Chains A and B, each alone.
Chain A
Amino acid sequence: MEATAVKKYTYKDFVSDQEVRWCPGCDDYVILNSMQKALPEMGVEKENVVFVSGIGCSSRFPYYMNTYGVHSIHGRAPGIASGVKLANPDLSVWIITGDGDAMAIGGNHFIHVLRRNIDLNIVLFNNEIYGLTKGQFSPTSLVGQKTKSSPYGNTQPPFSPGELALGANARFYARIGGNNPKAMTQIFIEAHRFKGTSLIEVLQNCVIFNDGCYTDVTDKEVKDDKQIYLEHGKPMIFGKNSEKGLVLKGLKLEVVTIGENGITEKDILIHDAKEQDPTMHQMLIRLEYPLATGIIRAFDDVTLEEREDELTKKIKANSKYKKTDDLFFSGETYEVKAP
């Protein structure tokens, strides 16, 4: 198995010779470093890794990775990545995208790539703003948010990437703060191991155009109290002293304190990321307090390439056509003889 393969690479093997040109202090550096640290742990050969991006700040990412890569056009990375993977299923293929790239111009491709479940990994840099075009509102910007294209406040309600993904039948969805490299690295490794399309939403701070947009949940001082880091098979417990937990009350999740009102750890919900039914995953995604992070959903399903492969093998085994000649000269042909 890949997970137990001998580690032959270090972080440095995945650093390209290109100078990184993001703004100082951008979370994009954290994501890049986390990826470069995760790759040696995946047990995948360097030449078998492909990064495909669209357009936007995040989409410069492939240039900085010493692997194969395509910096493509706005919103279209899912199409290109799908072609790469279907052409060669042995590759580990990563899509690097942002909130505008994935959900505005590339919205159609985003939902369809999730529905098909090709074994691809999508890293969505969500900073709730357009950075590269210098500060317009994006499909995840909040109502009222003042941006260059909404000087009096944004009037367009946002998407929730996780809910959109579940609606498109995503099998794997994770969410993580852009300032949490340790967990991010682990999630990247898990996403690579997961067979099917995995979507990792990174809450990425844009220091220039939307600085502090996640501060109230991701800052070191508050994150343990404001976030719950979910792990499959473990109780949904959070808080600085692990004193809080989630229970189901009616059709809603409720925060309880362990030790109060007779609540014990046994009453706390156990996280089941592998459940097919997305209802609980959706409730977790919608939760405002605490904000759910970690791998929220990881439902094992047949991939598109597995289906295609099975079909192709069956058809090849039963077909009378081995070469094109067999096809061209089959059926209704006729001879014209020399006079």
Chain B
Amino acid sequence: MSIESLTKESRTLKPEELQAVVIRFVGDSGDGMQLTGTQFSDTSAMFGNDIATFPNYPSEIRAPQGSLYGVSGFQVHIGSVEVSTPGDSVDLLVAMNPAALKTNLYALKPGHTIIVDKDAFTKKNLEKAFYETNPLEDGSLEGYRVIEVDMSTLTKETLKDVAGLDNKAITRSKNMFALGMVYWMYNRSTDHTVDFFNKKFKNKPELVEANTKVLNAGFYFAETLELIPNSFTVSPAKMKPGTYRIIMGNTATAWGLLAASEKSGLELFLGSYPITPATDILHELVKHKHFGVKAFQAEDEIAGICSAIGASFAGDLAITTTSGPGLALKGEALGLTMMIELPLVVINVQRGGPSTGLPTKTEQSDLLQAMYGRSGESPVIVIAAGTPADCFNFAYEAARLALEHMTPVVLLTDGYIANGSAPWKIQSVVDMPEIKNRKVTKATENWHPYNRDPKTLSRDWAVPGTPGLEHRVGGLEKDSITGDVNYVPENHQVMTNTRAEKIKRVQDNIPNLKVEYAQEGDLLVVGWGGTYGTLHSAVKEFTDQGHKNVGFAHFNYINPMPKNTEEVFKKFKKIIVCELNSGQFAFVLRANFGQFNFHQINKVQGLPFSNDELIQKFKQIL
């Protein structure tokens, strides 16, 4: 079939209505799969669908072409109903080469559709993917609907008359052919993506022309192609009215901090060192010098947190960002911050551990490190965000609690929600909760640096530049009243108790634990942090299957835990704690609520939970 023979009005079919669809785009790391996936997600979100996305890319920057470990993917879940995860199994797989097909076929639902670039199934590429025979020819894909398209050839043909393009530019635009096809299949307009080209390639009109042409060619090709029997549509979801945008977890974290800075009237200081998957927060914050953000890329993790400690001592809203191994390096400095009782937000975007572990994969295995990974008795506030959009609120909350309680706060997110994206109902700073701080501006008689608010026990914040309040702080134990160095045994006991009590009293400043679905009954599903979406979706499905006696309680506040935690636990016969580690939160719960029996669901594979595995375990335990 030649490209010229394709016309817009070749077929007019009534699209089939679907509630939700999961699509996965996979190809070589250089094939532009992230861009393709993002474009499809954005277009769908603007159409009104609820969405959740997850990129999955190798840690190699440019892995050898065609290799299994060089496969990069982007999964998007769109729905006319609420979508809380990027989806377990896939309805449509777009595979740009044999390696991509081989590594992703497992996720495709039986009988569902694969689109492949047939041109990429060369002998060489098949060998690189360790295929002994061509899967397009050997019958191994029976049971799926395979749409083979000569994408590379068609792309070249489409672009033969466009001047000023080299071979590389031509090859690189074939992802837009695939995107065009998927747009037609799901009844989506190409307008948003064409707008995107116009902005992105403002000074390269030949690239705007080329990409638009290829995108449209893919769209018309799908429309004409009889192999695609039908198109589908997913209607807009019922979402709260308002202005939305698609946001990635890491961006939401950075923006939550910007909002906290504006609301508190304090300048934002970030001391950081690059580490996957946390670096995007640094990338985002360095852009915002217009808000007075001071982002300091330090020589290592330790200098990152130490510069933030210095900025906090000097009166800024101070932040440091990292991932697991970096938190280990920051441990001693975090202990100092706790000891000298300064506000500091430490963000740990958790990844697969231990050691270097799985840098691009997700896990929740830094919980105990965040809780206890310091010398001595060193309590800090630990909170965790649940979804990509949630990162905004919890970054803001981390700043609020740090400033109001004069303490470091560790905010745990993870690779899954940090790189995932979802619609965010934009929040204006005007509507965010107040943020107080403990700054003292005037010298008073008998003032001491460890003067405390009797209610919260948080100490005064006297910053350099304030006359009459000159004082010294340090890592040595302090006299409970004057703040001078003090080694007296009884004083050490008093200070140890005070530091613990201070964190405990944060309970009065955080919301109660909410229970979704059954408010009492046979089983309480418990989770924390970045598994909110998967757990919520599994409990919903389980409830829909008729299990009306199951409740779901998700923790965002880990230390301290909400006041009503015990009350909630009491209302259920069984409690099951689900987390992406071997049972760290269950360990903390047992230490605090020994009267309950905690069952566990754990997974340490660098991957999120799937609905099916959760539901199966719920059934076993019930």
Q: List residues of chain A with CB under 8 Å of any chain B CB.
A: 16, 18, 45-52, 62-63, 65-73, 76, 78-88, 90-91, 108-109, 112, 308, 311-312, 315-316, 319, 321-325, 327-329, 331-339
With A315-B290, A329-B426: A71-B472 Cβ-Cβ less than 8 Å: yes
Q: Are A334 and B46 in contact (CB under 8 A)?
A: yes
With A67-B470, A79-B271, A88-B314: A324-B309 Cβ-Cβ less than 8 Å: no
6 pairs of residues in contact across A and B, judged by CB atoms under 8 Å: A48-B465, A68-B472, A79-B304, A83-B309, A86-B269, A87-B315
Q: Are A87 and B294 in contact (CB under 8 A)?
A: yes
With A68-B471, A79-B306: A332-B46 Cβ-Cβ less than 8 Å: yes
With A70-B313, A311-B289, A312-B289: A83-B308 Cβ-Cβ less than 8 Å: yes
Q: Note all chain B residues with C-beta closer than 8 A to A325.
A: 428-430
The answer to whether the Cβ of B197 comes within 8 Å of any Cβ in the partner chain is no
Q: Are B48 and A88 in contact (CB under 8 A)?
A: no
**A267 to B469 CA separation, bound complex (whole angstroms):** 55
For the A-B complex with A47-B465, A73-B333, A83-B296 known, give 10 more contacts whose Cβ atoms are closer than 8 Å.
Answer: A46-B467, A70-B472, A70-B473, A73-B475, A79-B306, A82-B303, A82-B310, A85-B310, A327-B288, A333-B244
The answer to whether the Cβ of B23 comes within 8 Å of any Cβ in the partner chain is no
With A72-B474, A112-B303: A87-B316 Cβ-Cβ less than 8 Å: yes
**A295 to B425 CA separation, bound complex (whole angstroms):** 60
Q: Note all chain A residues with C-beta closer than 8 A to B467.
A: 45-47
Q: Note all chain A residues with C-beta closer than 8 A to B48.
A: 334, 336
Tell me which residues from 429 to 458 in chain B have a Cβ below 8 Å from any Cβ of chain A.
429-430
The answer to whether the Cβ of B291 comes within 8 Å of any Cβ in the partner chain is yes
Question: Interface majority SS on B: helix, strand, loop or mixed?
Answer: mixed
Q: 3 closest pairs, A vs B, by CB?
A: A83-B310, A71-B474, A79-B306
Q: Note all chain B residues with C-beta closer than 8 A to A76.
A: 302-303, 306, 333
Residue of A at shortest CB range from B271?
A: A83
Q: Are B313 and A333 in contact (CB under 8 A)?
A: no
Cβ 8 A contact of A324, one of B236, B291, B336: B291
Q: Note all chain B residues with C-beta closer than 8 A to A331.
A: 245
The answer to whether the Cβ of B21 comes within 8 Å of any Cβ in the partner chain is no
- B45, B311, B425 interface centre (most CB from chain A within 10 Å): B311
With A63-B485, A324-B291: A79-B307 Cβ-Cβ less than 8 Å: yes
Q: Are A52 and B310 in contact (CB under 8 A)?
A: yes
**A252 to B429 CA separation, bound complex (whole angstroms):** 65
The answer to whether the Cβ of B298 comes within 8 Å of any Cβ in the partner chain is yes
Give, as a whole number of angstroms, the nearest-CB distance from A44 to chain B.
11
Q: Note all chain B residues with C-beta closer than 8 A to A315.
A: 289-290
Question: Interface majority SS on A: helix, strand, loop or mixed?
Answer: mixed
Give, as a whole number of angstroms, the nearest-CB distance from B171 to chain A.
28
Q: Note all chain B residues with C-beta closer than 8 A to A335.
A: 241-244
Q: Are A90 and B465 in contact (CB under 8 A)?
A: yes
Q: Note all chain A residues with C-beta closer than 8 A to B269.
A: 83, 86-87
The answer to whether the Cβ of B468 comes within 8 Å of any Cβ in the partner chain is yes
Cβ 8 A contact of B469, one of A47, A69, A112, A336: A47
Interface stretch of the complex, out of B11-19, B89-97, B255-263, B550-558: B255-263
The answer to whether the Cβ of B427 comes within 8 Å of any Cβ in the partner chain is yes
Tell me which residues from 304 to 361 in chain B have a Cβ below 8 Å from any Cβ of chain A.
304-316, 318, 332-333, 336, 340
Q: Are A84 and B313 in contact (CB under 8 A)?
A: yes
- A18, A51, A88 interface centre (most CB from chain B within 10 Å): A88
Tell me which residues from 16 to 48 in chain B have a Cβ below 8 Å from any Cβ of chain A.
42, 45-46, 48
Residue of B at shortest CB range from A72?
A: B336
Interface string of B257-289 (1 = CB under 8 A from A): 011001000010101000000000000000011
Q: Note all chain A residues with C-beta closer than 8 A to B463.
A: 88
With A18-B484, A67-B470, A70-B474: A334-B310 Cβ-Cβ less than 8 Å: no
- A83, A112, A322, A333 interface centre (most CB from chain B within 10 Å): A83
With A63-B474, A68-B470, A334-B245: A88-B315 Cβ-Cβ less than 8 Å: yes
Interface size class of B (residues with CB under 8 A): 35 or more
With A48-B464, A323-B262: A79-B290 Cβ-Cβ less than 8 Å: no
Q: Note all chain A residues with C-beta closer than 8 A to B258.
A: 324, 327
Q: Are B426 and A333 in contact (CB under 8 A)?
A: yes
Residue of A at shortest CB range from B462?
A: A68
**A325 to B259 CA separation, bound complex (whole angstroms):** 9
Q: Note all chain B residues with C-beta closer than 8 A to A85.
A: 310
Cβ 8 A contact of A328, one of B292, B336, B427: B427
**A321 to B300 CA separation, bound complex (whole angstroms):** 31
Residue of A at shortest CB range from B426?
A: A328
Q: Note all chain A residues with C-beta closer than 8 A to B485.
A: 18, 63
Q: Are A73 and B464 in contact (CB under 8 A)?
A: no
Q: Note all chain A residues with C-beta closer than 8 A to B246.
A: 332
The answer to whether the Cβ of B564 comes within 8 Å of any Cβ in the partner chain is no
Q: Are A69 and B472 in contact (CB under 8 A)?
A: yes
Q: Are A91 and B245 in contact (CB under 8 A)?
A: no
Tell me which residues from 462 to 495 in chain B have a Cβ below 8 Å from any Cβ of chain A.
463-476, 484-485
Q: Are B315 and A333 in contact (CB under 8 A)?
A: no
Q: Note all chain B residues with C-beta closer than 8 A to A109.
A: 299, 302-303, 306
Q: Are B310 and A79 in contact (CB under 8 A)?
A: yes
Cβ 8 A contact of B290, one of A80, A91, A316, A328: A316
Cβ 8 A contact of A339, one of B238, B267, B290, B314: B238
Q: Note all chain B residues with C-beta closer than 8 A to A311.
A: 289
The answer to whether the Cβ of B240 comes within 8 Å of any Cβ in the partner chain is yes
Q: Are A47 and B472 in contact (CB under 8 A)?
A: no
The answer to whether the Cβ of B239 comes within 8 Å of any Cβ in the partner chain is yes
Q: Note all chain B residues with C-beta closer than 8 A to A78.
A: 303, 306
Q: Note all chain B residues with C-beta closer than 8 A to A51.
A: 472
Residue of A at shortest CB range from B263?
A: A324
Give, as a whole number of angstroms, the nearest-CB distance from B300 to chain A.
6
Tell me which residues from 539 to 583 in chain B have a Cβ below 8 Å from any Cβ of chain A.
none
Give, as a whole number of angstroms, the nearest-CB distance from A303 to chain B.
14
- A67, A69, A332 interface centre (most CB from chain B within 10 Å): A332
Q: Are A327 and B46 in contact (CB under 8 A)?
A: no
Cβ 8 A contact of A80, one of B309, B332, B468: B309
Q: Note all chain B residues with C-beta closer than 8 A to A63.
A: 472, 474, 485
Q: Note all chain B residues with C-beta closer than 8 A to A334.
A: 45-46, 48, 243-245
Q: Are A336 and B289 in contact (CB under 8 A)?
A: no
**A18 to B472 CA separation, bound complex (whole angstroms):** 11
With A73-B336, A83-B307, A88-B314: A316-B465 Cβ-Cβ less than 8 Å: no
With A78-B303, A79-B271: A47-B464 Cβ-Cβ less than 8 Å: yes
**A332 to B332 CA separation, bound complex (whole angstroms):** 42
Q: Are A336 and B244 in contact (CB under 8 A)?
A: yes
Q: Are B245 and A332 in contact (CB under 8 A)?
A: yes
Residue of A at shortest CB range from B485?
A: A63
Q: Note all chain A residues with C-beta closer than 8 A to B239.
A: 336
Q: Note all chain A residues with C-beta closer than 8 A to B313.
A: 50, 68, 70, 80, 83-84
Q: Note all chain B residues with C-beta closer than 8 A to A324.
A: 255, 258-259, 262, 291, 429
**A88 to B310 CA separation, bound complex (whole angstroms):** 10
Give, as a whole number of angstroms, the nearest-CB distance from A177 to chain B.
28
Give, as a whole number of angstroms, the nearest-CB distance from A209 to chain B.
22
**A168 to B604 CA separation, bound complex (whole angstroms):** 44
Q: Are B307 and A319 in contact (CB under 8 A)?
A: no
Q: Note all chain A residues with C-beta closer than 8 A to B427.
A: 328
Residue of B at shortest CB range from A318?
A: B290
With A86-B296, A334-B244: A321-B291 Cβ-Cβ less than 8 Å: yes
**A85 to B259 CA separation, bound complex (whole angstroms):** 24
Q: Are A328 and B255 in contact (CB under 8 A)?
A: yes
Residue of A at shortest CB range from B482?
A: A17
Q: Note all chain A residues with C-beta closer than 8 A to B298.
A: 79, 82, 112
**A321 to B259 CA separation, bound complex (whole angstroms):** 13
Give, as a whole number of angstroms, the nearest-CB distance from A193 to chain B.
20
With A70-B472, A83-B269, A316-B289: A50-B464 Cβ-Cβ less than 8 Å: yes
**A228 to B236 CA separation, bound complex (whole angstroms):** 82
**A323 to B255 CA separation, bound complex (whole angstroms):** 12
**A15 to B403 CA separation, bound complex (whole angstroms):** 31
Residue of A at shortest CB range from B245?
A: A333
